[in-house]
Structures are given as structure tokens and as C-alpha cells.
Structure 1
Amino acid sequence: MTQDNVRVNTGWERVDEHVLEQLRRHSVANLGDALDRLNIVDGGIAPIWSGAKAVGTALPVLTVAGDNKAVIAALDHIRPGDILVINALGYDGRAIIGDNLAQRFDVFGAVGAVVDGYVRDCAIIEKLGVPVFARGLTPAGPFKNGPGSIGEPVAIGGVVVNPGDIVAADDDGVIVIPPHRVDEALAGVEEIVAREAGLDAEVEALRSQLA
């Protein structure tokens, strides 16, 4: 399907909310360790405000550099629990989203956005509490001409993101989890959490001995 000059693919499935809830209990670092430290987006994409955290089902968007027509069109396709994953080609000359779009993502049920590009209105977005991850900030607004695509695979930060993949993001960065690896991720991360708890206990015991 094509809306004007934006291609739209709706033929994919989202994971159940209870799966997302289980993953939300864990850090991106631990999830990455559980999945062989693969599928981790490069460190250039980071939260635009400290403490931002999101886990959701990927709704991928591809844009022309400096243009957000496809991002606006994606508003019609957001479902609760989605996270917008926007390949804006890493372009630093225009902000792909600002506070207005961030608010609309939230209203339609998206849990946040990951942008391989630049954004703006950082202070307002932080005040709103909308988790946004991007390469950086610029005050320059976008064009709205297209073309673009929604619901098709995109690449962000060296990782391919398919529609329906799970994206987890926090202060450390972003990881992409294919649905078929969720059980593996959850089993592995529980072992990691238990092991780290033991290491923490060792440190506390050593601290007491040296006090």
C-alpha cells in the first residue's frame, strides 16, 4: 500500500504485551550480554535526556535525510506498545522530530522513538517524559516532502530492525531483539542478574572486611 509517496506495510505481527513487560525489568547491558553482545546499536545513538528508558515493538520508518513526511504518516499506524524506529540516514542538518511529534507518539500509545538522525526540543521532551534516542540535537526543522516507508526493515546504527522486532533502550544505548530469541534472552538475562547479585555480595563482604 502507498499513501501518496510513502510505502506502508501492515502485514506483520506484534509481540504480546506480557513479553515486553518481562523485558522491561532488565537493563540493555544485561540483555546484550544474554544475546552474545550482538544486535547492539552503535553508541552514537543515545538518550536525549538522562533516565530515558523504553521497551517496545519496532515500528520501522525510513525517511529521506532531513525530511519527516513518513514519520508523520506513521502516526496512523502506531499501536500501543510500539516504539518508532526511524532511519533518518544519520543526517545532522535537520531535526526529524520535536516535541509535537513526541507528544503525538505518546498519545497514540507509542513507548518512545529511536532515531538514526537528529531531533530537537530536548528540554520539552524531557519534561513530557517521552523516551527519545537519537544521534544528537539541532534546532533546524525538517522538510515534509517524502518519500519514505513504514513497516519495512530499516538499518539503524549498524543493526537491521524488522517490523515486529523488540527494541530495548536505556541510558546505556539500544538493543534489537528478534521475537524468536525472546525466550533465550529472558533465560540468559535471569542467569546474568543472579550472577551479578553474587558478585555484588562479594564486594559488600570485602567492603565490610576492609572497613
Structure 2
Amino acid sequence: MIEAPPVLTIKASMRRPTEQQIASFQGVSTGFVVDALYGGGALSQTITPIGSGRDLNCVAAGPALTADCGAADVLAAFAALRYIRPGDVVVSSFAGHTGCAAGGDGLTGMMKNCGAAGFVTDGPMRDYDGIVKVGLPVWCAGITPASPHMSGPGSVGTPIQIGGQEIETGDMIVADRDGVVVIPFERLDEVIANLEKVRAAEQAQDNRVAGGLRYPDWVGELLESDRVVIRD
């Protein structure tokens, strides 16, 4: 007979970026981070700021603390409260289930009390007014009044699949009104270095547009080349 799985599995050792690495992502837009990742890292557009950010300023950047809840269950998300370090972004995989809530104002309130910088889930949330009052930035897949179960099995600190990306505890999460991006732990220094190039290129482009630029130079060069045919 196959034995029942443990109700909870907790990863014994959880890696974390340095404070300097964490600081490097503060105030950085998700678009810049995606560019620094050469187009990668963005979670599915189904995961958006709660209420489209109309009542809550949804901006956060911090190390991921993962909770693998599974469909319709929130036990692992509650267990993760014990392991939050100030500045963490709790990322809870709900297996994309939308039939009930992946959390509410009670859970987000306790996350904020523990020092979390934000909460990301691929399930919907409940208690919208309460979440706004709590003030913790939340990204989710919508809103529902339906309540979840709390029975497990689940895990904290283990790799999860969410929004088309794999996220491990210690990866960096950067999130704003455009969505959520994950930066793998092993690529943090590479992306930090690339961000300087992205900032410089974006600033140069912004300056040219503000100065009246009508189209990029490469568009003109392409249209004048033998790679374009103009027909009547």
C-alpha cells in the first residue's frame, strides 16, 4: 500500500540574495528586467495586480519565498508565514486553480506583519476591501468569494511552477503594474550588469523621442535597402 504523503514538506536550507543584490532591483521596472533577461522571466499575463492596481500601489522587489499549495488548498501558504524574512515576496503556486481563493485579507495581513514585501499567486483572491486596507501588494488571477481548503499536502521553499515559469526560493521577484518577473538566483549578477546597459539605451531613446524622433534609424535604413520591394 502506498503511504500517504506528509502534510507539509519544508526545505531545510533556503538560499537568499545578498542585501546588495536585493537593493539593485529596487525601483526597477519589470520591462527593464525583462530586457536585461533578453526577453525572458515574465510570468503569464493572467497574473496581474489585484484590482488592476486601482486601489493598491502594487510595486515590489524581493527574494522569492515559495509555497507549493496545489489546487484549492492554502496550507503551505500559511506555513510559509513562519519562514518569511523582511523583504521577501511570497510566491504561492495554486496550480492555476480559479474555483476558489488562494488567500484573503487575513493571510496577507499576517504576511505584512512578518515583513513580506508582496504576495504572488496564480489563483484568485478574496476579501478585496480588506486586502486594500492591509496594503500588501498582491498579484493574482482575479477575485472570488469562494473559500479554499487547508489540508495539504504542500511544501515551502521548494521549486514551483507558476505563470509559465519555474521559481525557486532565493530567486528575485520584481513586480509592478505591468506584471511579475522572476530572475534566477544564478543570473542575478549578470542581470544587474545588464540593467545598466538597458537604462542607458532606454534613456537615450527617450531623449530622442522627446526631441522629435519619428522613427528609429534602422527603420529608415531597412526601407532604403534592397530587402524591401515597393509595388504598385
- TM norm structure 2: 0.83
Which amino acid is 2:111 matched to? F
CA offsets per residue over residues 41-61 of structure 1, 9 Å max, x none?
111111104130111111111
Correspondent of 1:90 among 68, 82, 96: 96
Q: Give runs of aligned pairs for residues 126-145 of structure 1, distance below 5 A.
A: 126-145=132-151
Name 2:62's counterpart in structure 1: 56
Which amino acid is 1:5 matched to? V
Name 2:37's counterpart in structure 1: 35
Name 2:11's counterpart in structure 1: 9
Q: Give runs of aligned pairs for residues 120-159 of structure 1, distance below 5 A.
A: 120-159=126-165
Give percent identity, aligned residues only: 38
Q: Contact 2:21 / 2:189 at 8 angstroms: preserved in 1? A: no
Q: Shift of the alpha carbon at 1:26?
A: 0.9
Return 5+ residue gaps in structure 1 as ranges. none
Partner of 1:30, secondary structure, is helix
Q: Which has the higher mean CA deviation after the structures are superposed, 16-25 or 143-152? A: 16-25
- Number of residue pairs matched by the alignment: 205
Distance 1:175 1:91 in 2: 20
Correspondent of 2:46 among 34, 44, 47: 44
Return 5+ residue gaps in structure 2 as ranges. 1-5, 214-232
Q: Contact 1:17 / 1:81 at 8 angstroms: preserved in 2? A: no
Distance 1:148 1:17 in 2: 29
Partner of 2:211, secondary structure, is helix
Which amino acid is 1:14 matched to? R
Which amino acid is 1:15 matched to? P
CA offsets per residue over residues 111-145 of structure 1, 9 Å max, x none?
11110111112232223321111111101111111
Q: Contact 2:67 / 2:154 at 8 angstroms: preserved in 1? A: yes
1:160 aligns to 2:166 (yes or no): yes
Partner of 1:137, secondary structure, is coil
Q: Contact 2:102 / 2:123 at 8 angstroms: preserved in 1? A: yes
Distance 2:83 2:11 in 1: 10
Which amino acid is 1:99 matched to? D
Q: Shift of the alpha carbon at 1:27?
A: 0.4
- TM norm structure 1: 0.91
CA offsets per residue over residues 50-88 of structure 1, 9 Å max, x none?
130111111111113111111111111111121111110
Distance 1:57 1:115 in 2: 15
Structure having the higher Rg = 2
Distance 1:29 1:44 in 2: 17
Distance 1:205 1:144 in 2: 57
Distance 1:38 1:206 in 2: 31
Distance 1:159 1:98 in 2: 24
Q: Shift of the alpha carbon at 1:150?
A: 0.7
Which amino acid is 2:128 matched to? C
